[in-house]
Structure 1
Amino acid sequence: MRLDIVGEASAALLCRLLGLAAQHDLAAPEMEVRLTGDGMAVRLDLGGLDGPPGRIVAEKMLRCIGVEAVALDGAAL
């Protein structure tokens, strides 16, 4: 499962996103972070979290303060 997240450039937001993955006791995800002007683009590749559980995590990430958009496997939520 791949998540693409766009939001504010914030270490606190990055911690919240990783915390949601950690709640599912996942191995360290593959992650890419790019600063874009005053924002941040994060790509998380989370193995072992497909189907409905993956969608739930994606929707929780979308509701995080500072997140503007989330795409799950290339499809916007």
Structure 2
Amino acid sequence: LMVSVGSTNFDIRSFRLNDEASLNVYHGEFAQRMTETFERDLQSSTPYSYLMWKNRPWSERLSETVLLPIKSQL
């Protein structure tokens, strides 16, 4: 099993400008511990659906529109 742990985001800014790091670990016991941690985090997370996004408040939509010109910097 393999686990990848790190700060890398899959966007142009992260790959070209930011200093990002990831560590790939090939170790069964470590992978199991990370899977358990992920499952615990998943239990305490809040689901967010496309329908919820589509019906988000107008204030969020306005913020998104205002911030659109600097989206790549965020």
Considering fraction of residues, name the structure with more strand.
Answer: 1
Greater RCO, CA 8 A, separation 6+: 1
Structure (1 or 2) with the larger CA radius of gyration: 2
Same fold (TM over 0.5): no
TM-score normalised per structure 1: 0.27
